[in-house]
Structures are given as structure tokens and as C-alpha cells.
Amino acid sequence: MKPQLDMIGLVAADLAASLAFYRRLGLDIPAGAENEPHVDLTLPGGVRISWDTAKLISEIDPRWTPPAGGHRIALAFLCESPAAVDETYRHMVEGGYAGHQEPWDAFWGQRYATLRDPDGNGVDLFAPLS
């Protein structure tokens, strides 16, 4: 059997802030999850996303240091339409989250926008233009 992508893991400096961002984006993260050092959620389609506190990662790997100089991962969320890209971007920015690139029509045929989560990771929003 070939390895299959099963989970994307994020390390959060502030787990509560990170989970609040992804809840506002629409992920169904259980209440109280911010009190745990590890959170694991199965997304539609079966891939899991997880969050670990920086403290937990440091305990698992004492040599770990946070990345520096920019984000190291970007997550891309498919929206139902180009208008939904605009609405989701606006909803997140109005909620106090960092917009990185306002919605635009990309040359590859998608409406695209980029946010930053509380740890600086890129979170892309996209939908086909046609």
C-alpha cells in the first residue's frame, strides 16, 4: 500500500486563538477543544487536520523551534462560488483576522484570496471563475 495523506498538523502558539480562527472559517471544532494540548478533526473527504500546542511539540521534540522568516504551510479552502470567496474573506477580516491578499481573479481561472491564521500560516480561499 502506498502512503496516503491522512492528516495535516499545525503547531499553534496560542491554541485558543488558532481554533477561533478556524471556527470562524467554518470548521466544526468542538467547544472546549482549546483546553487540550492536541486537537484532531476529520474534514469532509476524510483528511484530518490537527493542532498541537507549541509546548506539546517542545516536549515531544526538545530540539524543535518555531519556523522563522515566513509561513511554512498554506491551507487552501474551496468555496462554492467566486462571490463566496469575497464574502468569506470579508467575514474573516471583519472578525479581526489578517487579510494578506484581497480577492482577485487569478490567471489560472480562479477567484483567489489569502488570509493569515494567528500563527502566520497562509490560508487561501478559492473558487473556479466559471
What is the gyration radius of the CA atoms in the chain, in angstroms? 16
Look up the pTM and report it: 0.91
pLDDT tens-digit readout, 37-67: 999 999 999 999 999 999 999 999 999 998 8
Contact assessment for residue 113 and residue 89, using Cβ atoms and an 8 Å cutoff: yes
Q: Who's near 97: CB < 8 A, 6+ residues apart?
A: 21, 24, 115, 116, 117, 118
Q: Strand 7-12's sheet: what is its strand order?
A: 7-12, 48-53, 38-42
pLDDT < 50 regions, the chain: none
